[in-house]
Amino acid sequence: MRQKAALCALAVVVCSVTAGSARAAQATPARGSTFGRFTVEAKSWGGDIQGPWEFSKDVKVTSSDLTMTCDRLKAWPTKDGRDWERVEATGNIAISGRYVAADKTGWQVTGKADSASYDAKAGQGVLKGSVQFKAVNSVTGATISAVADKLTYDVKTRQFQFERGERPVRVEWEQPEQAQPEGAAGGQQTGKSDTGK
C-alpha cells in the first residue's frame, strides 16, 4: 500500500515536470494558467514570436522545486498567451528536485526519459523511451524506483499508467534500515515487482 502511494506520488511528479513546469509550484500559480511559475533557459530560441516556440541547446526548465534539462523544448501557448495547449520535450531528458505529495510528504526525485509531452486537450502527460525514475522519501529514506517504456498520466483523473511493451514494468522499493528492539532481526527491507501495465 505504501509502495503504491509512493508510486502515485512519483507519477504526479513525472507528469508535472513533463508539462514544462511543476505541480510543486501550485502555491504560486500564474493567473488562469495550468502551471505555476517557471523559467526556460536555452542557448537558442526560435519560432513565431507569439508561439509556438522552440528552445534548443542546453534547455533548462526550472520551477520552484524541480528542474528539467533536455535538448529541445517546443511549447504551444494558447491564443491569448496565458496558458499552454501543448508542450514537447525531446532528447536527454533529466529531472531532479523535490516534490511534496498531497499528504505533505517530501520526496527527492530524479528521472530520465527520451521524450516528454503534455497535451491540454487530451489532459495527459506522457513520458516515452527508457523511462527511469527514482524517489527518496525525505523523512523515512524509503526509496522507490521504476523502469518503463512509457508513462501516461491523466491530469483530470490523476490516474497513471506504466507501459513496457511486451515486458513487465519493473518497480523496486527499498525501506531503509530502522532501529530495531534488541534481539529482533534488523536490516533493510526491499521489494521488487515486475508487473504488467
Partner 1 sequence: MKRFPTANWLALLALALVVAYGCGGRPKPPPAEEETPPSSAVGEMQMGGSVIRVADPEGKWRFEARSEHIEAEGMDGPYRLQPAKCWYQAEDRPRVFMQADSARLDKAAKRVLLTGNVRVSHAAWSLVTERLDYDLAQGKVLGSGRTKLSYGGQEAERLPPSDSEVEEP
Which residue number, 4 or 57, has a Cβ lying nearer to partner 1?
57
Residues in contact with partner 1, shown as a per-residue x/- string from 6 to 45 under the rule CB under 8 A: ---------------x------xxxx-x-xxxxxxxxxxx
Q: Does 79 bind partner 1 (CB under 8 A)?
A: yes
**C-alpha to C-alpha distance for 23 and 135, rounded to whole angstroms:** 16
Q: Which helix (H) or strand (E) holds 132?
A: strand 124-137
Q: Does 67 bind partner 1 (CB under 8 A)?
A: no
Which residue number, 37 or 170, has a Cβ lying nearer to partner 1?
37
Burial of 28 (0-12, 13-18, 19+ CB in 10 A): exposed
CB of 74 to partner 1, least distance (A): 13
**C-alpha to C-alpha distance for 7 and 13, rounded to whole angstroms:** 10
Cell numbers of 61, please? 526548465
Binding site for partner 1 (CB under 8 A): 21, 28-31, 33, 35-50, 53, 55, 77, 79-82
